[in-house]
Structure formats: structure tokens, C-alpha cells
Amino acid sequence: MQIKALDTLESFYGTLDATAPTDPYEFLIWWQCGYPPSEERCAKGWQALVDQVGIAPKRLTSVSAAKLAAALTAGGIVPAVRAVRLKEIAKRVGEDHAGDLRASLARLSSAQARKLLKTFPGIGNPGADRILLFARIEAVAAVPSACPHVLVRVAHGAEGDNYAATYAAAQQLQNALPATFDARIRGYLLLSRHGRELCKRTNPACPRCPLRTMCAFAKGAKKPR
């Protein structure tokens, strides 16, 4: 079911490439570039940060918080808060990981790597899974944090109100994919695109969905709660 659904989505959207940075440190910076975080806001804030300041750990620790905040305004609200977080991330990666967070993560066990990532601002289990997958450290069954409902709707129908339960159910479904980086990155990107464009959390566009003939949610014509 999962592979067939992903093949259908790929026929609809085409082959997708990651738009967010895949290096762990760069992703942590990118994730703070937009708020509320989204692909679009983070991309805008990231571009402004790259153009106006730079992203190297030494650069971010030395530049003023005010200059950082000015660049981050392009990505949304609370830029001053995000500027402080960027400085914290850059300082820790520069001092504790010699500027190479990926190398540090690769030396750890899965549990240790997740624990370390979750000590950074804004990173929970979904974010840690995403980082490990896209950095090709572990082929984890990562699920887009903004739309874990997509696979759950296809397989089971309307998701419940409990986010953690929906994410766990989606991750279990994603585990049916081959445990390779390419297969799981492909799945993540397609589910993320579909969740943003058609299978939205509220008011999903079921009549236009390429999965409607195989989707339990579409067949049941139930609105998500």
C-alpha cells in the first residue's frame, strides 16, 4: 500500500529533491530561520541570513544579536528570540563538536544521537528523525512533522486528535518501506509535499487527490477533527 501510494504521488508531483539543508548543523540553523516554522518561512529567513550574515559557527557567534534579528525578520515573528537560539546552536557546535555536528552524531548510537539532537532548540522526535535520515546517518522511518496524518488517512481513515499517536501510527506505516536512505527520503518528501498542497489537516482537497481511489479517508468522506 505505502509503495503504491508513493509511486502514485511521484507520478503526480514528479521526482522531488530536498529543499532544506541536509547537514545537521545547517538544518538546525535553517529551522530557526522561520517562525512559526514552515518550509516557506524557513527558506525566506535562511536566504536573508546567508545573504546578510552567513551561517558559519564563528560568524554567528561573533555577529550582534540585533544584526541576526534583522536578517531573521524575513522568516516571521520573534526574530530576537530566534537570534539568541542561533547563537546558542553555533556556540555549541563550534565548541563542543569542532564545527562538525554530523561527525559527532555518526560516532554515537541511535539513542545517543537522538538525545543529543533533542537538546537543541526546537528539536523533538520528528526533527531528530528527519535530521538523521537526511544526513544519511540512520535510515529511520521519519515522518513530516507538519503532516503525519497523510499516510494514516490513506491506510485507516480520519486521524484522531492525539498528535503523538498519529505520528507513531504514521511511522509504523512508513516502516513498511525498504530500510534504505533513498526509499525513506523519497517517502518523506512526497508525503510532505502532498500534506502541504492537497491533504491538508483541515479542508483537504480530496476530489483533486491522486490517492482518492485507494484512500480510506476519501472513501469515507469524513472530515478530520
Helices 39-52 & 65-72, crossing angle to 10 degrees?
130
Which phi and psi angles does 19 have, rounded to 5°? Answer: -100, -25
* Dihedral sign (CA 92, 85, 101, 46): negative
What is the C-alpha R_g of the chain?
A: 18
Query: How many C-beta atoms lie closer than 10 Å to residue 60's C-beta?
Result: 22
Which 8-state DSSP code applies to residue 66? H
Question: Both ends of the chain: CA-CA distance in Å?
Answer: 24
Q: Where are the alpha helices (DSSP H) in the chain?
A: 2-13, 24-31, 39-52, 57-62, 65-72, 79-96, 101-106, 110-117, 125-134, 149-156, 163-174, 181-197, 216-220
Residue 36: DSSP 8-state: S
| Burial of residue 16, with CB atoms counted within 10 A of its CB: 0-12 exposed, 13-18 middle, 19 or more buried | middle
Is-contact 140 129, C-beta < 8 A?
A: yes
pTM assigned to the model: 0.93
Nearest-angstrom CA–CA distance, 5 and 145? 19
Q: State the 10-residue block means of pLDDT for the chain, 225 residues long.
A: 90 97 98 95 97 97 97 98 98 97 97 98 95 98 95 94 94 94 97 96 94 93 51
Residue whose entry in the numeric block shows the C-alpha cell 544526513: 135
Say what the pLDDT of residue 95 is. 97
The pLDDT, as a whole number, for residue 225 is 47
| Torsion angles phi and psi, residue 35, rounded to 5 | -155, 135
Question: Which pairs count as long-range contacts for 201-204, CB under 8 Å and 24+ apart, including other chains?
Answer: 201/147, 201/149, 204/153
